[in-house]
Chains A and B, each alone.
Chain A
Amino acid sequence: MSTIAIDKAGPRRKVKYGSMSRDRAWALRWSYFFLVVFVIFSLTPPIYMLITSLKSSAEISAATNPWWVFHPTLSNYVELLTSNQFLRFFWNSAMVSIVVVIVTMLISVPAAFALARMKFWGSATLATGVFLTYLIPDSLLFIPLFKMFALIQDLTGITLLNRWYVLLFVYPTLTVPFCTWIMIGYFASIPKELDEAAIIDGASWLQTLTRIFIPVALPGLIAATIFAFTVSWAQFLYPLVFTTSIDQLVLPVGITTTLIKGDVFNWGQIMTGALLGAAPPLIIYAFLMDYYIAGLTAGATKG
């Protein structure tokens, strides 16, 4: 009797499971289909950069299928990587970005530690101020900053405009607030007992920061470093406004202003330059994606 009952129930249940997994399978197929569409949309520009960079000028202006390379050549790469001018841009960019990253960390890590752990007069206000500063876009401040640097030059004779190192002063205004903000979050997530244990062990505030907090919040530190680097590397408006001489330019501005000669677009070289300019952030991203994403999402949480 009981076996018959099981036999009857068996197929019914199977059908139910079957329909569930069939729904699921369809949902999955649709998901993959749309993901492929969106990935194509996402990757078209970088892939097109790569395709174009492998073409000669002749092939670019020929009426062939632009989505395919018929005669691949590395001549664009050779030309750019042996051009002093392009290497100069690269060098300027690297120089500026690395120094800015170091300055940013030196400013924001101690500040974040103080704001996260040492409640002092005005600390809450300052933390809010840091966050608000982070929301101020570059396009709001470039004109007064430009005038400010011009005035400093008039008053003191210190030349800042049209020197690459002027960027060392302005980039931190973009990187420091965000890095401070996410470091506050990372530091605040460290249990209070850990610094108390350090205090009892005899560590001073600075020792607590350098020997406990920085090592423990290392993932946050890496995320903040990546952020500071990518922002510095990608910044376009400030160098466009503050630097004009060719030997003072950084990559993004250098590529857009010098490779476009009048109305003549040397697309092969422009795309090669753009790809080389995009390479450092892309490489960092490829190796440190999880830190990159952690930093990105940390901005919206207060820790």
Chain B
Amino acid sequence: MADVVVEHGRVAGATGARKRTSLHNALKRKSTVAFFLTLPLILLIALLVLYPALFSIHLATLNKSMQKFVGFGNFTFLFKRETFWMVVKQSCIFAITAVIFKALIGFIVAHFVHNIPAKGQRKWRGMLLVPWVIPPAMSTLAWLWLFDPSYSAFNYTLSLFGIGPVNWLGDAAWARFSIILVNVWYGAPFFMIMYLAALKSVPDQLYEAAAIDGANWWQRIWYVTLPMMRNIIAITTLFSLIVTFANFDIVRILTSGGPLDQTQIFATYAFRVGIESSDIPLGASVSLFMVPILAVAAIFILRDVNKRGNEA
């Protein structure tokens, strides 16, 4: 048998060359079509994402009038600014706190929705997802009005219980709380919907098997639900972390970073410095500080998404 195969190889060798070129042509045809189909995408990414990203690094090394190369000058300048460190701290606190609460609330609400009869789930899910659907700039305006110090609906309601007016956005601590609250309000439905999809994908037999094995409600969540949803929880959390961390709309509309930069985060600070104060290089430098944190989150997401792909 073996030598027969060898002989085949030799006999076919003569025609091999011709075949390979035609095969090569077919491949070339296919990849030419593929190239043209993906060309607009490649151009878009290259010109409007990749190039600006690199350009940003270049900008960050210039002085304010963009005439002179200052190397790491902008960065060292930022390091000496107390405001900048406040921005770093606030960005991290906002993102982490908001994401934790989004994740918790989303998880709890998803469970409640999953708990009720399937017939009514659509309706509840529909109402609970509304915050995610409204453009955040629009809904934040409503929050701004709810938080209004003099005619505010919140303060009116609290006054009915004899609780004095709260300076929701004027006091640094309350302003931070308010920003996190709006972030949670806006982002929790996304978690809810992702968890709900994941919950539905857990086969009922697993719960039945766990129940027969004597697992109580809590153990079923801990040993069945969470492990099965581990991956989607990780992806959703990391994804939300990026979105929350880089968020601009909510802080911009609620406080514009005030009072006294005490709610300033990367996006709003970069806007303040780069656009409003026209120091483009410094603004670019501020933005660039987001990159390491975003990159770490992105790498983990990519790992999890690929893992999901392999499981499927």
Q: Does B bind A?
A: yes
Residues on A lying within 8 angstroms of B by beta carbon are 27-28, 30-32, 34-35, 38-39, 41-46, 48-49, 52, 60-61, 65-67, 106-108, 110-111, 113-115, 118, 120-121, 123, 126, 128-133, 135-148, 169-170, 172-173, 176-177, 180, 205-206, 230, 233-234, 236-237, 240-241, 252-253, 255-256, 265, 267, 270-271, 274-275, 277-278, 281-282, 285-286, 289, 292-293, 296-297, 299-303
Known A131-B302, A143-B274, A300-B305; judge A252-B248 contact (CB<8 A).
Answer: no
- In Å, the complex CA distance between A89 and B49 comes to 27
A and B contact pairs by CB, cutoff 8 A, 9 listed:
A46-B139, A135-B301, A205-B33, A230-B135, A237-B249, A255-B138, A281-B134, A293-B197, A302-B306
- Residues from chain B with a CB closer than 8 A to the CB of A31 are 112, 115-116
Q: B175 in the interface, Cβ–Cβ < 8 Å?
A: no
- In Å, the complex CA distance between A207 and B283 comes to 48
- In Å, the complex CA distance between A206 and B32 comes to 12
- Residues from chain B with a CB closer than 8 A to the CB of A138 are 246, 248
- Residues from chain B with a CB closer than 8 A to the CB of A253 are 137
B302 touches A128 (CB 8 A): yes
Q: B290 in the interface, Cβ–Cβ < 8 Å?
A: yes
Q: B232 in the interface, Cβ–Cβ < 8 Å?
A: yes
> Of A39, A118, A206, which is within 8 A of B128 by CB?
A39
Residues on B lying within 8 angstroms of A by beta carbon are 30-31, 33-35, 37-38, 40-42, 44-45, 48-49, 51-53, 55-56, 59, 105, 108-109, 112-113, 115-116, 122, 124-139, 141-143, 145-146, 148, 151-153, 156-157, 185, 189-190, 193-194, 197, 232, 235-236, 239, 242-243, 245-249, 252-253, 266-267, 270-271, 274-275, 280, 283-284, 287, 290-291, 294, 297-298, 301-302, 305-306, 308-309, 312
- In Å, the complex CA distance between A289 and B131 comes to 14
- Most interface-central of A136, A144, A169 (chain B CB within 10 A): A144
- In Å, the complex CA distance between A139 and B267 comes to 5
- Most interface-central of B127, B146, B249, B271 (chain A CB within 10 A): B249
Known A172-B44, A302-B305; judge A143-B243 contact (CB<8 A).
Answer: no
With both beta carbons as reference points, the residue of chain A lying nearest to B250 in the complex is identified as A236
A296 touches B312 (CB 8 A): no
Closest Cβ of chain B to A104, distance in Å, is 10
- In Å, the complex CA distance between A248 and B153 comes to 34
Known A236-B137, A274-B138; judge A35-B40 contact (CB<8 A).
Answer: no
- In Å, the complex CA distance between A30 and B142 comes to 30
Closest Cβ of chain A to B74, distance in Å, is 12
Known A61-B151, A234-B135; judge A274-B30 contact (CB<8 A).
Answer: no
With both beta carbons as reference points, the residue of chain B lying nearest to A36 in the complex is identified as B124
- In Å, the complex CA distance between A82 and B306 comes to 52
B142 touches A46 (CB 8 A): yes
Known: A31-B112, A139-B290, A292-B129. 13 other contacts (CB 8 A): A46-B142, A52-B145, A111-B38, A120-B35, A172-B48, A230-B135, A255-B137, A267-B151, A274-B138, A277-B138, A281-B134, A281-B135, A289-B126
- Residues from chain B with a CB closer than 8 A to the CB of A129 are 45
A42 touches B185 (CB 8 A): yes
- Residues from chain A with a CB closer than 8 A to the CB of B146 are 44-45, 48
Closest Cβ of chain A to B191, distance in Å, is 11
> Of B44, B52, B249, B252, which is within 8 A of A148 by CB?
B52
With both beta carbons as reference points, the residue of chain A lying nearest to B285 in the complex is identified as A143
B109 touches A118 (CB 8 A): no
A142 touches B271 (CB 8 A): yes
- Residues from chain B with a CB closer than 8 A to the CB of A256 are 137, 141, 253
A282 touches B133 (CB 8 A): yes
Known A118-B34, A234-B137, A302-B308; judge A140-B53 contact (CB<8 A).
Answer: yes
With both beta carbons as reference points, the residue of chain B lying nearest to A270 in the complex is identified as B141
- Residues from chain A with a CB closer than 8 A to the CB of B56 are 140-141, 143-144
